[in-house]
A and B are shown apart, each in its own frame.
Chain A
Amino acid sequence: MVSSEAKTGLKTPDAEWAEKWEAVIGLEVHVQLLTRSKIFSGAPTAYGAAPNTQASAIDLGLPGVLPVLNGEALRMAVMFGLAIDAHIAPRCVFARKHYFYPDLPKGYQISQYELPIVSQGHLDIEVEGQARRIGITRAHLEEDAGKSLHEGFGDQSGIDLNRAGTPLLEIVSEPDLRSPAEAVAYLKKLHQLVVYLGICDGNMQEGSFRCDANVSVRRKGEHKFGTRTETKNVNSFRFVEKAIAYEIERQIEVLESGGAVVQETRLFDPDRGETRAMRSKEEAMDYRYFPDPDLLPVVCTQEYIEGIRRQLPELPEAKKARFMDHYGLPAYDAGVLTAERALADYYEAVVESSGADPKLCANWVITDLLGGLNKLGCELAASPVSAGALAGLLKRIVDKTVSGKLAKEVFEAMLAGEGSADQIIAARGLVQITDEAAIVAAIEAVMAKNPSQLAEYRAGKDKLFGFFVGQVMKATQGKANPEAVNKLLKEKLASP
């Protein structure tokens, strides 16, 4: 076996195997929808509660309980469908998927089978300058299961059903992805989209966005798909890349040594960077799907769908284009600023309330704000400097209260929580001197102190202009407006 390091080193189809083999990858992503209550019960969905304190009679599957669909979960699913340009089923049906497992209280999961709410959509990705359209076969609503805890109970496992009944949107891609890098690009794009839509908090550590990867390989030029495996439990972008790369290499190795890939469910072990077959999924599943008789067909009228379409937020690509067009930003800036909806909103708030040049605002947000937050190890949502506060500083640059250079110092202080731009400027005495009389007085004092340099300058040694600027700035502790200094100094030095 090749060491796992060698395998996980793979990043792109340019890897060694890419000459002879082609990987075929499809992703199934489970997105926890950001509803307050569960998909079929009125229990809360908040993360991190004490075990089983958010599992209601319905979530526990007590005898006699019945499900009623949460309208918000449906609305979010439709919203997603519209965002990927998909078909929204005018009539969709919930089915029961049966299997016995302790985190599945009813012995079946309520899911959608034959008639999912969303089908035939797509997402466009770009990898190394190559644009590709990835098909999304379907996205369906279902309920999440609970969690099994294996440590701390001796030869037993502990079951926490708080998560049971949390609404999920399972998004199934076509097997259109051809490399780990493409898979990650697709996943990141999808992640960005669901967070943008406000239907998911995107928190991968807490399991709000989970990915299963279906991977197979075939020899280049072959049309038939190879036997695929499904790898579960890949809960970060990095792990997805590693798990898929490992699985591609493993399958190629199996095939090249004359073996056959077994269709199975595998588990990714992040510590070892490997996948292994899951014991609990060894037997072939017979899920015995049938329409859930406790739920009726869900009907989405055209009117309902159009109502949701009108509420759709501006999506990343449209926003980026608008930022370039409307604010005159370069593509790079627009891309960075629209990567997250919250950042884009932040930026627009800064532009609007500062009245400053949009490019200047972009520089401050990208370089100073993001750089500063990065140093602090802090998320935008927890930023010590609000959009309004940053706009307050930029206003002072625009009205020349503070110079651009000193503004950086002010911003550092703002990040450190020392107060608003105005408070810091006042406290530190950083107000720019724009009063021409005061600047002229400083110039005249400098000229008086340096008669020899003055004579040399007037004799034609132009280079000494910089010397005089420096002296004037020094005399004003850097607060003199540089443009005014330049202009007035030129006048004074020229006329004896």
Chain B
Amino acid sequence: MASYTTNEIRGGMKVMIDNDPCLILENEFVKPGKGQAFNRIRFRNLKTGRVVERTYKSGDSIEAADVVDVEAQYLYNDGNHRHFMATESYEQYQMTETEVGEAGLWLKEQGECTLTLWNGTPLAVAPSIFVTLKIVETDPGVRGDTSGGGGKPAKLESGAVVRVPLFVQEGEVIKVDTRTGEYVSRVKE
């Protein structure tokens, strides 16, 4: 695999650190007018999720990681694993509930998502930024309330619970921003 020198490394690059694939968050060049230059690199370990800051002597290199993001479709949950299929290659992948993590709360069968693959095995899954999901459980709202102020919890078909305005009813389909977990709008089916 190729490697990058500290001067080439940018946020968003994926590299191997401590034998784990890591995502670069920030690379700060620290150089006194006279004296040794350093790069303070902040990265997230893609296996553990831990964020670490580490200092490198400028000019050192870090091995690149074979990490790619692919578009995929969530297929089904067999009780032990969640199954996915890459949209382009039709290649199928499986992940445990732990590996899927919180993203699992937003996954609907046949819904789109992004798989992060490391050496061909899935490291992480991310739902689309906006998803449309059906409300499977919520208290009946107060008639006439259209302000949206306050709101109430609503459980969605994928398992997530979001706050929705009082006028939104069980059985309705809503659009949610998965980055914040916030209700966006109702969707007419």
A and B are partners in one complex rather than unrelated chains: no
Question: Which residues of A are at the interface with B, using a C-beta cutoff of 8 A?
Answer: none
